[in-house]
Structure 1
C-alpha cells in the first residue's frame, strides 16, 4: 500500500516546487506593476481622446501587447500554464489565445 504522506513530503522537498513558488511571487509583483502601467496608459489615452479626438495608435498597440503579457502571467500564476512568462520566455504573441475582438 502506498503512503499518502510520502507524496506530499516529496512535493514539499522538491526544489522545482519552491522555485515555481518564488517565480510566482516575483511575477505577481510584475503583474501588479503592469496593471499600474495599464492605468497610466488609460489616463493618457483619455487625455489624447479629449485633445485630438482619437487615441494614440502606438499606445493602443502597446496596451494590447501589455494585456497579453498580463494574461500570460495570470495563466502562469493560476497554474493553467507551465510556461514561464517574459523575460524567461518570449514576449506574448500579437494575437492572444483567448477570444477577444479589439476595437478598431
Structure 2
C-alpha cells in the first residue's frame, strides 16, 4: 500500500495535471468575469434595442462552452486540455467518457 502511495505521489503525469488545473482555475476566473461583462452588455442591448444582440449571444455561448470545457477538465471528466492547448471548437465535440 505504501508503495502505491509513493508511486502516486511521484507520478509526473499527476503533477502535470495539477499544474494545468491551477492554470485553468485562474483562466476560468477571468472567463467568468468576462461572462459577467457579456451579460451586462446583453442586458443593456436588450433595454436599448428591445432585442438581444446576435453577436453578443454568440460570444456568450462560446465563452459558456469554454467554461464547461475547463470544468470538465478540472473534474477529471476529460483528459483533453482546453484552449489554448487545443482548438477553440473542440469542446463542442467532447463526449462523456464511457464508464
TM-score with structure 2 length normalisation? 0.88
Structure 1: give runs of 5+ residues left out of the alignment.
99-104
Higher helix share: 2
Larger radius of gyration: 1
Distance across 1 between alignment mates of 2:62 and 2:93: 9
State the Cα RMSD in Å. 1.7
Partner of 2:88: helix, strand, or coil?
coil
TM-score with structure 1 length normalisation? 0.84
Taking a change above 3 Å as real, the CA distance of residues 94 and 26 of structure 1, as seen in their structure-2 partners, is: closer
Shift of 1:96: 7.0
Shift of 1:92: 3.1
- Structure 1 segments of 4 or more deviating over 4 A? 93-98
